[in-house]
């Protein structure tokens, strides 16, 4: 019973009492429309809602910014529901919805009602639970409500940047041909050394200059073998390294960068694994190809920052998860105390490359350009540059990424990608 | 503009005119103005989405009709005022439900027609019964009044009990 019911009851009662005390029969006449209105509502009061529902998504996995078509079909298993409001319960607020999620309808027994809408959600894994049904008599005196289960799950994959992978030089490569110089002679393109001619060597490999200098012997050029490598990507999901902004966070950029790097390395044929370190330790075992890309995308879709006292520093980073002497690519805004741990990882034989989204400029973009803020930003930039310099001194390659810039472009102009001659020129000038 | 809203305006206007005319005919101008102001506030409530106001307005209109009848104003005007304000109150509620849905669908058209038909029947029936009552002129003696009162209280208790049971 709603407040409307009690209001009409009270009105009737009040008129009645006044009529009785004043002994005025004509006041009873005013009660008639109200009484009939109340009686009509009583006779049409809804019974218990008995609905079944199913939900269909046009895709269970989509990439960010792509709309999903949600179809909800509700069937009435009970008596007639005359004026019913059906409202779908969204798994995330706010979500961009194109279409109606709230419907006002009649549902006769045994009949179905179907509605559709498009929804666009940010990266993540979502569980649709059900919808809320509220049935009432035509005059809104009696209401019956129920939550109807209509489950479905949706994974929204992160968007990846189109990038070329940063150059890596792990100390150990795998046995298959790839793109990484393996520090062993064989068939390749880069010059590796000269050895004495052996019967069977192609004539075009003979190094005639060396042969002319040596007298009788012939010498052949050797080339460096190029192989695939193991690449372990570590995504820093510690809450203290994340910076939150009104509609985004630095972590979102890290996620996209990690996914883009994984995609780029997988495209080159490398074996790639993923470790998400922060809230807990999520891992995707090293693997190849498109399936591995899917596995990594799914893991990144569900990646969340979190606070875990045990994982506040990289001290417990389980690097043994990756093969020995392999390449580790860490995507992290970095903290000062990380230098020590990363240096230790490097001393264990791993090559470490850090892609570091710049938290200073990201956060500074949200402050007003006051003098004091500008000074603070300058100090923070200096502090960060010093930290990165210390890290480079330990032998860790760092790509400092200001997130408003294109990651592909930042990688392209990073020192490892530039020709040596240009680097010398830049150093001289 | 939906049919519901048009009928709401019509009902509200009718309620204001009926009650106002009753008071004007009896030369009680302040109360006629009060009724007009209440009607104006109800309109403002609709435009400003004051969802709490329709019930308040409805109560004031009922009080105005009751007081008018006790003061010996035209009973037909007071009855018309009650019926029209009841319609306006109902349509304000129904309009709020319709407004919650952004896109108009054929189902909504069907619901609207059914709702208006039901409301029309209920109001017509109520007015007919009331008119009969006014024509017959029931004379309430003390004993009839006491018996009617007991019957009313008892039936209200039974109704609430039955509704409580069915909602469980």
pLDDT tens-digit series, residues B82-137: 999 999 999 998 888 888 777 777 778 888 888 899 899 988 988 888 888 777 76
In this structure, is the dihedral angle defined by the CA atoms of residues A386, A306, A275 and A128, taken in order, positive or negative? Answer: negative
Instruction: Tell whether B166 is within 8 A of chain A (Cβ).
Output: yes
- Please give the average per-residue pLDDT across A356-368, as a whole number: 84
In this structure, what DSSP letter does residue A140 have?
S
Question: To the nearest whole angstrom, how far is the Cα of A108 from the nearest Cα of chain B?
Answer: 12
Start-to-end CA distance of chain B, whole Å, equals: 40
Within 13 A of A170's CA, how many CA atoms are on the CB side? 27
**Closest residue to A30, CB basis, from B69, B111, B142:** B69
CA pair distance A216, B95, nearest whole angstrom: 105
Instruction: Tell whether B19 is within 8 A of chain A (Cβ).
Output: no
| Band of pLDDT at residue A212, cut at 50, 70 and 90 | confident
Q: Give the residue among B118, B83, A18 at the shortest CA–CA distance from A10.
A: A18
Question: To the nearest whole angstrom, how far is the Cα of B144 from the nearest Cα of chain A?
Answer: 9
ipTM of this model? 0.84
Name the 3-class secondary structure at A145: strand
**Closest residue to B97, CB basis, from A26, A104, A142:** A104
* Residues of chain A with C-beta less than 8 angstroms from the C-beta of B140: 19-20, 23-25
pLDDT at A273 over 90: yes
Q: Report the Cα B154 to chain-centroid distance in Å.
A: 25
Alpha helices, DSSP H only, in A273-335?
Answer: 289-301
Q: Which are the contacts of A193, defined by CB distance < 8 A and separation ≥ 6?
A: A185, A221, A222
CA pair distance A380, A364, nearest whole angstrom: 10
| Tokens found for residue B41 | 């506030």
User: CA separation (Å) from A224 to A123, A175, A188, A271, B161?
Assistant: 42, 14, 5, 20, 92
Q: Which among A12, A29, A74, A105 is the top mutation candidate for probing chain B, defined by the most B β-carbons within 10 Å of its own β-carbon?
A: A29
Within 13 A of B26's CA, how many CA atoms are on the CB side? 20
**Closest residue to B86, CB basis, from A27, A34, A103:** A34
Instruction: Tell whether A82 is within 8 A of chain B (Cβ).
Output: yes
| Tokens found for residue A7 | 């209001």
* Residues of chain A with C-beta less than 8 angstroms from the C-beta of B66: 14-15, 18, 27, 30
Within 13 A of A194's CA, how many CA atoms are on the CB side? 10
Instruction: Tell whether A184 is within 8 A of chain B (Cβ).
Output: no
**Residue in A closest to B139 by C-alpha:** A25
pTM recorded for the entire structure = 0.71
Q: Give the residue among B87, B88, B109 at the shortest CA–CA distance from B2.
A: B109
| Tokens found for residue A122 | 């940010």
Q: What pLDDT sits at residue A328?
A: 92
CA pair distance A187, A178, nearest whole angstrom: 11
Q: Which are the contacts of A368, defined by CB distance < 8 A and separation ≥ 6?
A: none
pLDDT at A7 over 70: yes
pLDDT at A177 over 80: no
Write out pLDDT tens, residues A275-331. Answer: 999 888 889 999 998 999 999 999 999 998 888 887 878 888 888 888 888 899 999
Peptide bond into A94 cis (omega under 30): yes
CA pair distance A398, A401, nearest whole angstrom: 9
Q: Where are the beta strands (DSSP E) in A40-123?
A: 51-57, 61-63, 68-76, 81-88, 96-99, 102-107, 112-120
Q: Which among A1, A49, A104, A134 is the top mutation candidate for probing chain B, defined by the most B β-carbons within 10 Å of its own β-carbon?
A: A104
């Amino acid at each position: 019973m709603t407040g409307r019911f009690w209001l009409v009851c009270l009105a009737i009662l009040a008129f009645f009492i006044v009529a009785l005390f004043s002994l005025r029969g004509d006041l009873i006449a005013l009660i008639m429309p109200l009484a009939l209105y109340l009686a009509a509502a009583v006779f049409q009061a809804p019974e218990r809602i008995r609905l079944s529902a199913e939900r269909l998504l046009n895709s269970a996995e989509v990439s960010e910014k792509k709309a999903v078509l949600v179809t909800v079909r509700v069937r009435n298993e009970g008596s007639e529901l005359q004026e019913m409001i059906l409202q779908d319960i969204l798994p995330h607020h706010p979500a961009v919805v194109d279409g109606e999620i709230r419907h006002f309808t009649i549902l006769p027994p045994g009949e179905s009602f179907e509605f559709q809408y498009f929804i666009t959600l940010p990266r993540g894994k979502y569980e649709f639970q059900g919808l809320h049904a509220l049935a009432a008599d035509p005059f809104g005196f009696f209401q019956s409500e129920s939550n109807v289960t209509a489950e479905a799950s949706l994974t929204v994959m992160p968007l990846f940047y189109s990038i070329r992978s940063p150059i890596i030089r792990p100390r150990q490569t795998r046995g298959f041909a790839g793109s990484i110089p393996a520090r062993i002679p064989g068939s390749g393109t880069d010059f590796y050394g000269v050895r004495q001619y052996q019967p069977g060597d192609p004539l075009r490999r003979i190094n005639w200059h060396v042969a002319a200098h040596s007298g009788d012997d012939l010498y052949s050029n050797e080339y460096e073998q190029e192989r695939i490598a193991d690449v372990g990507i570590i995504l820093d999901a510690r809450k203290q390294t994340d910076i939150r902004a009104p509609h985004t966070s630095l972590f979102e950029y890290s996620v996209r960068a990690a996914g883009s790097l994984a995609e780029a390395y997988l495209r080159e044929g490398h074996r790639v694994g993923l470790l998400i370190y922060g809230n807990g330790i999520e891992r995707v075992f090293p693997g190849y190809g498109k399936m591995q890309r899917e596995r990594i995308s799914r893991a990144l879709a569900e990646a969340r920052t979190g606070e875990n006292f045990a994982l506040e520093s990289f001290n417990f980073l389980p690097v043994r998860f990756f093969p020995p002497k392999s390449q580790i690519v860490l995507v992290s805004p970095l903290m000062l105390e990380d230098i020590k741990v990363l240096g230790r990882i490097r001393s264990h034989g791993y090559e470490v490359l850090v892609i570091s989204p710049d938290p200073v400029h990201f956060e500074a973009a949200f402050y007003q350009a006051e003098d004091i803020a500008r000074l603070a930003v300058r100090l923070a930039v200096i502090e960060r540059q010093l930290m990165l310099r210390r890290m480079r001194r330990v032998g860790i390659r760092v790509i400092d990424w200001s997130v408003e810039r294109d990651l592909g472009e930042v990688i392209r102009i990073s020192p490892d990608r530039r020709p040596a001659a240009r680097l010398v020129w830049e150093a001289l000038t | 503009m939906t049919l519901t809203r048009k009928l709401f305006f019509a009902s509200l206007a009718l309620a204001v005119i009926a009650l106002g005319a009753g008071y004007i005919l009896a030369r009680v101008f302040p109360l006629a103005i009060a009724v007009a102001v209440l009607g104006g506030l109800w309109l403002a409530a609709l435009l400003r989405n004051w969802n709490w106001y329709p019930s308040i307005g409805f109560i004031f209109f009922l009080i105005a009709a009751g007081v008018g009848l006790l003061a010996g104003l035209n009973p037909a005007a007071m009855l018309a005022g009650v019926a029209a304000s009841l319609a306006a109150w109902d349509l304000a509620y129904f309009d709020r439900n319709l407004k919650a849905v952004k896109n108009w669908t054929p189902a909504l058209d069907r619901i609207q027609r059914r709702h208006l038909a039901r409301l029309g029947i209920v109001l017509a029936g109520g007015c007919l019964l009331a008119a009969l009552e006014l024509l017959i002129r029931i004379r309430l003696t003390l004993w009839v009044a006491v018996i009617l009162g007991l019957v009313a209280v008892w039936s209200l208790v039974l109704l609430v009990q039955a509704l409580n049971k069915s909602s469980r």
